[in-house]
Structure 1
Amino acid sequence: MLSIKSALAKPFAKRIYKKVQKWANNPIETQNKIFQNLISDAAQTQFGKDHDFMSINNHKDFTKRVPIRDYEALKPYVERVVSGEKDILWKGLPIYFAKTSGTTSGVKYIPITKESMPTHIEAARNAILLYIHETGNAKFVNGKMIFLQGSPVLDKKNGVQLGRLSGIVAHYVPKYLQKNRMPSWDTNCIEDWEVKVNAIVDETLPENMTVISGIPSWVQMYFEKIQERTNKKVGDVFKNFNLFIFGGVNYEPYRAKFESLIGRKVDSIELYPASEGFFAYQDKQDEKGMLLQLNSGIFYEFIKADEFFEENPKRITIKDVEVDVNYVMIISTNAGLWAYNLGDTVMFTSIKPYRVVVSGRIKHFISAFGEHVIGKEVEQAMQEAINGTDVQVSEFTVAPQINPISGLPYHEWFVEFETEPNNILEFAKKIDKSLQKQNSYYFDLIQGSVLKTLEIRKIQKNGFQSYMKSIGKLGGQNKLPRLSNDRKIADALKPFSLSK
């Protein structure tokens, strides 16, 4: 029998679906409108005056006046905002700073404004409503939902509230979901990730969990603890659990492990949120890619990844993007980020409507020998090697081995297996073959005997968790880079390696 809550969800979902279709079917007009609104709203800010926003009429004008900046380059403006100055990057002061840890910048303070905050909330809500509209499944709204996230305890910085994005978002759970939401406020405030996960297990075990959400690597830790505690599959403990919502990393390398932990398949929704904006979400269960949010106060530009480091790379709008090309995504937002390089690379899987997959990070690649290997390629290679086998991988990362003790250099894959392959050398060859097929530079280096076939270094159980803990990045929004162009992570993983 349908409850009032799930009965009401369906007409609401239909209304939102129609609303989304309206802008998704008019993408260029939608983005032009966003662009014009951003420029006019920020014309009197310090940034707008410095870059002559009053004389910007189109994208061409914008590219001439506003150079691409990463956080480091935008920092002088951000620091003025953080110190309490108004009207610097956007009108007035932000309502929050989302605190993130950058690799080069130390702590980053990303402004969130009263205009940008609702777009984070609406996108997350709409992802669930579009799933209800497509599948007709609304039963889960009657059960308990868990969102594995950072602490909602916020500090203050010159009058502006400060915290992790997931902690900020915790303050915006709608009233009608408050009773359904897990964990409790007190448990959510626990800072130590391992203590927190154990407390979450205690709280959720007796409950009717229907939706579980979070970064896959951290949800996996929660599932493993459930299994350890009960000696049962997660799907048997939570019989009505049927929707997994995730973001932050590609789910495919985790899928087999998750299905084994759950004991059955469950539907999933992929999200693409960041402190800088909520960029995309999966709008169809059977379509690859996530619907790019073109009506969320964000104006998008794209630069071909292989041209990005050239002197003056071409900046294009969605009007000119192509499917299956690796682009660096540049954003301008109603939180006051202008021609901002987020560091992510995306590929379009469709342009009617505009759907993307996250292909990696512009800084996370391997090109120690000119091979230009990216995150999407190593993930696909691993996936192809796993397909049709019983192999399950918990986590992995890749680094170049430039100075081997003997023989040719190679790519070194650090892999934590849940279920190992019968023949590790054959498994490595499968991955290598897929990588050669995807990447012509890598193919040429292998064929030309510049590199030899990759090698796999096995990591002990929970080794990656131990590594993340050792660098103070266990849990929350922290993610392990899928690949790196140096040996920093590789060297730090030595204590957790099973094979020397």
Structure 2
Amino acid sequence: MPLLNSILSWVSVKRLQQINWYKTYPQDIQNELLFQLISDAKETVWGKKCKYAAITSVEDFQKQVPLNHYEDIQPYIERIRNGEQDVLWHTPIKWFAKSSGTTNDKSKFIPVSKESLENCHFRGGRDSVLIYNHMYPDSNMWKGKSLALGGSHQISKYSMDSYFGDLSAILIQNLPFWAHFYRTPEISVALMDEWEEKIEKIAQITSEENVVSLAGVPSWTMVLIKKILEMQGKTNILEIWPNLELFIHGGVSFTPYREQFQSLIPKETMRYMEVYNASEGFFAIQDNPSTNDMLLMLDVGVFYEFIPIENIHDENPPTLILTDVELGKNYAIVISTNSGLWRYIIGDTVEFTSKYPYKIKITGRIKHFINAFGEELIIDNAEKALAEACMQTNAKIREYTAAPIYMSETTKGAHEWLVEFEQEPSDMQLFVELLDEKLKDVNSDYEAKRYKNITLAPPIVKSVVEGTFYAWLKAKGKLGGQHKVPRLSNTREYIDDILLYQNI
């Protein structure tokens, strides 16, 4: 054991020193990584198309490789899913992280290479624990088990060697054997497809374990905690897990959930740590509990570029490397990764809060959206669903806006819609049901959150009087020009103001 502790201590010190180099050599680290990615992929279909062998500078890379959305690389991804290799990346890819968000399909399938698993996602997880233990040397994390609430996985219909599922499930499926000694529940339960049964099983099993840390999306984790308390007849989770000390969270904003977690985990020494781990890669870790920003990870197989948000819709927007960004400005992230995503616009926006080291805050999505519970509802989803509901009920809409209703200790989350009809639906209840069903049809993440009302309750639609939105914009001095009613918002800023203005 002393020898093992010495080895672990040496590895930890070495890795912390590498992370510390982010302060001194950030762009050097990034440039070295980029040229390694280019070298690895130069013989792939994509590498030959973009003449990777001739690239000798970052400027060459930006000139020869176009910016890409999912729709641009989808044909290449489909080739990989059908069994072809050396398309975007030089090693075989059999895993695909299923993620909603594209306007054309219900789901995206993001390639996950073995290099991305080991050197990006798993390294990010190890770094999170390393940074946490460095901040809190009195931690007892290794004396208990971690509970990470993941998704499910299933065999792809394209090939018996091609698999897809939630990223969390892919990570659980590919964990090294020793990691399973420190986690709960067993893998067969963690990867169950049926969510309601799965949460029931996890609640039964883990209530008997010494759980010291949690990891997951706040909304789903809250559902699990409430299920355990209900089953055990307890009022706070410390009655079941007295040694719980850490919740690692990401995926959606933690702000609406913080008070609820503090109520259910009434412990002054309970710690919360945000990470930025997306299907496309592991990007950032909160390394200071007193601030709400995260350290951008520079050597985990991801090369970063940034588009000023005001230029995002330009035909050829400027792309900045780390040394060119400014603090306090909003940028769309562009990534090139060791899974074969090249100059890929992931749709998230960030703001830099620090340089040397570079730290970021997630500010939202490029487009208006609702993602309070991980549902990633975008305007295209809303427009399609409203159109279907209007067609079936002979309704016409003049204006609308929607926002989340946050979970409370006694109620589930939901979406609230304010709609100004030019022609009212023939049946309002049917309109709401059709809206809900179409949203499930076009957005798999919304469908998952609405499943059996576990996280999201049915939408609430309120009809407002004619002229409501016009009068509200007028009162704000925002008539004409580029001013418009925000269709979707991830906060209640607009909808509460409209409700207050109209005394609804």
> Which 5+ residue runs of structure 1 have no aligned equivalent?
367-374, 380-392, 402-407, 421-462, 491-498
Alignment match, 2:388: none
Q: Deviations over 1:202-253 (max 9, x none)?
A: 0111221111111000001011112222232112221100111111112122
Alignment match, 1:141: 142
Residues 33 and 303 in structure 2, CA contact (< 8 A), matched pair in contact too = yes
Alignment match, 1:198: 200
Alignment match, 2:186: 184
Q: Does 1:106 align with 2:106?
A: yes
**Mapping of 1:208-247 within 5 angstroms?**
208-229=210-231, 230-247=233-250
Q: Does 1:60 align with 2:59?
A: yes
Residues 185 and 205 in structure 2, CA contact (< 8 A), matched pair in contact too = yes
Match of 2:364, SS state, is: strand
> Which 5+ residue runs of structure 2 have no aligned equivalent?
384-397, 411-435, 457-484, 492-502
Q: C-alpha distance in 2, partners of 1:339/1:347?
A: 19
Q: C-alpha distance in 2, partners of 1:45/1:470?
A: 32
Which amino acid is 2:139 matched to? A
Q: 1:364 aligns with which of 361, 368, 380?
A: 368
**Mapping of 1:441-456 within 5 angstroms?**
none
Q: Does 1:418 align with 2:408?
A: yes
Which amino acid is 2:149 matched to? L
Residues 97 and 160 in structure 1, CA contact (< 8 A), matched pair in contact too = no
Identity of aligned residues (%): 34
Q: Deviations over 1:235-285 (max 9, x none)?
A: 222110011111111212210111011123411221111121111112222
Root-mean-square deviation over aligned CA pairs: 3.9
Match of 2:13, SS state, is: helix
Residues 397 and 415 in structure 1, CA contact (< 8 A), matched pair in contact too = no
TM-score w.r.t. structure 2 length?
0.73
Residues 145 and 182 in structure 1, CA contact (< 8 A), matched pair in contact too = yes
Q: For the structure 1 residues 248 and 489, does the alpha-carbon distance in structure 2 shift closer, same or farther, using more than 3 Å as the test?
A: closer
Residues 102 and 108 in structure 1, CA contact (< 8 A), matched pair in contact too = yes
Q: C-alpha distance in 1, partners of 2:147/2:351?
A: 30
Q: Deviations over 1:436-479 (max 9, x none)?
A: xxxxxxxxxxxxxxxxxxxxxxxxxxx9xx99999521399x99
Which amino acid is 1:183 matched to? P
Q: Does 1:473 align with 2:448?
A: yes
Q: Deviations over 1:46-94 (max 9, x none)?
A: 1112112222222222222211111101112222222222221111431
Q: For the structure 1 residues 184 and 249, does the alpha-carbon distance in structure 2 shift closer, same or farther, using more than 3 Å as the test?
A: same
Q: C-alpha distance in 2, partners of 1:47/1:327?
A: 26
Alignment match, 2:21: 22
Alignment match, 1:434: none
Residues 66 and 339 in structure 1, CA contact (< 8 A), matched pair in contact too = yes
Residues 101 and 378 in structure 2, CA contact (< 8 A), matched pair in contact too = no
**Mapping of 1:100-499 within 5 angstroms?**
100-104=99-103, 105-118=105-118, 119-151=120-152, 154-155=155-156, 157-158=158-159, 160-164=161-165, 165-229=167-231, 230-265=233-268, 266-364=270-368, 413-416=403-406, 418=408, 471-474=446-449, 486=487
Residues 329 and 346 in structure 1, CA contact (< 8 A), matched pair in contact too = yes
Q: C-alpha distance in 2, partners of 1:193/1:26?
A: 45
Q: C-alpha distance in 1, partners of 2:185/2:279?
A: 22
Q: C-alpha distance in 2, partners of 1:272/1:48?
A: 28
Alignment match, 1:459: none
CA-CA distance at 1:489 after TM superposition? 11
Q: Deviations over 1:81-139 (max 9, x none)?
A: 22222221111431422222334233322112222221210111111111101210331
Q: For the structure 1 residues 137 and 8, does the alpha-carbon distance in structure 2 shift closer, same or farther, using more than 3 Å as the test?
A: farther
Q: C-alpha distance in 2, partners of 1:17/1:179?
A: 25
Which amino acid is 1:106 matched to? K
Q: C-alpha distance in 1, partners of 2:69/2:227?
A: 39
Q: C-alpha distance in 2, partners of 1:148/1:8?
A: 30
Alignment match, 2:473: none
